[in-house]
Amino acid sequence: MTAAVLDRAPVVSPRPATRRASLTRLTGLEIRKSLSTRSGRALTVAAAVLPASGAAMIFALGEQPPNAAILLAVLGSLVAMLLLAVGVLATAGEWTHGTVQTTFLTVPQRGRVLTTKYAGMALLGATIATVVVGSTYAVAAIGAGPGFSWQGAGLAAVATVASGAALAVTGAGIGAAVANAPAALTGTYLVLLVGMTILNGVKPNWGRNVDPLAAAFNLIGQDSSTRSVAVLAGWLVVTAVAGAVVTRRRAIS
């Protein structure tokens, strides 16, 4: 009686497919992370609420801005400082608090992480700016006098949203390059509030070519030149690239 021997190939358990999280999911995660801290929530709420309060105070005091674009330019340029801070905290805050180690262990591709941070800040900045436009125009519709002009209100709204997105990404680039939240915030405010004020006083032509807050004001106020767009785009590109280069080379400790 012969025994048949059957050769069996070893059974190999299939490995579970490793799937990277999509950029959309990571972007949403970055937005939630920015809103998960008290400072991030406070800055976001302040940026969304204070302009409407400022508009209400302007009308309550009997002041009458010439049109909706100028009103939005004044309040939008003030919100720009808060949006810069929101962006700074989104990147520098992780290095300051040490959570960047967990972030890069979860997603080792630093460029991918930074891309989603920039995208998240662009969406968050645009969203906050949209709320600013809606609340400011709502207050103006109630409190503005008969001489208030709504001409150009639509273009001003688009410029406000675009400026909000650009400045939030600019802040994220600064934060990524400096990697220390207090230092990044202090340096940003010193450059923009002190340095640019001095430059605009001494060399106004130079100031118009480099001041991002003045560029945001002029863009929302419907300055016909392309200088404002170029200034905001320059700040966005330079800071985003600087943040990416430094982040790729920085050691995680």
Residues of the chain with pLDDT under 50: 1-18
Terminal-residue alpha carbon distance, the chain: 71
The token pair that represents 123 in the structure block: 């969406």
Asked if residue 155 is part of any domain, the answer here is yes
Asked if residue 9 is part of any domain, the answer here is no
Asked if residue 16 is part of any domain, the answer here is no
Cα 169–170–175 angle (5° rounding)?
95
Residue pLDDT, tens place only, 43-77: 888 888 888 898 899 888 888 888 999 999 999 88
Asked if residue 12 is part of any domain, the answer here is no
Asked if residue 177 is part of any domain, the answer here is yes
The pLDDT, as a whole number, for residue 20 is: 67
What's the rounded Cα separation, in Å, for the pair 148 and 167?
29
Asked if residue 58 is part of any domain, the answer here is yes
Residue pLDDT, tens place only, 16-33: 444 666 878 888 888 888
The pLDDT, as a whole number, for residue 6 is: 42
Q: Up-side HSE of residue 238: CA atoms within 13 Å toward CB?
A: 8
Distances (CA, A) of 211 to 28, 99, 181, 215, 235: 31, 33, 22, 6, 9
Q: Hunting for tokens 């949209």 — which residue is that?
A: 130
Q: Hunting for tokens 């905001």 — which residue is that?
A: 232
What pTM does this model have? 0.86
- Domain holding 219, by residue range, is 23-249
Give DSSP secondary structure letters for the chain: -PPPPPP-PPP-PPPPPP-PPPHHHHHHHHHHHHHSSHHHHHHHHHHHHHHHHHHHHHHHTT---SBHHHHHHHHHHHHHHHHHHHHHHHHHHHHHHTTHHHHHHHS--HHHHHHHHHHHHHHHHHHHHHHHHHHHHHHHHHH--TT-B-TTHHHHHHHHHHHHHHHHHHHHHHHHHH--HHHHHHHHHIIIIIIHHHHHHH-HHHHHHH-HHHHHHHHHTT-SSSHHHHHHHHHHHHHHHHHHHHHHHPPP-
Q: Hunting for tokens 């995208």 — which residue is that?
A: 119
What's the rounded Cα separation, in Å, for the pair 92 and 173?
9
Asked if residue 175 is part of any domain, the answer here is yes
Asked if residue 89 is part of any domain, the answer here is yes
The pLDDT, as a whole number, for residue 200 is: 92
The pLDDT, as a whole number, for residue 1 is: 43
Residue count of the chain:
253
Q: Give the total number of structural domains in the chain.
A: 1
Cβ(247)–Cβ(94) under 8 Å? no
What's the rounded Cα separation, in Å, for the pair 36 and 238?
28
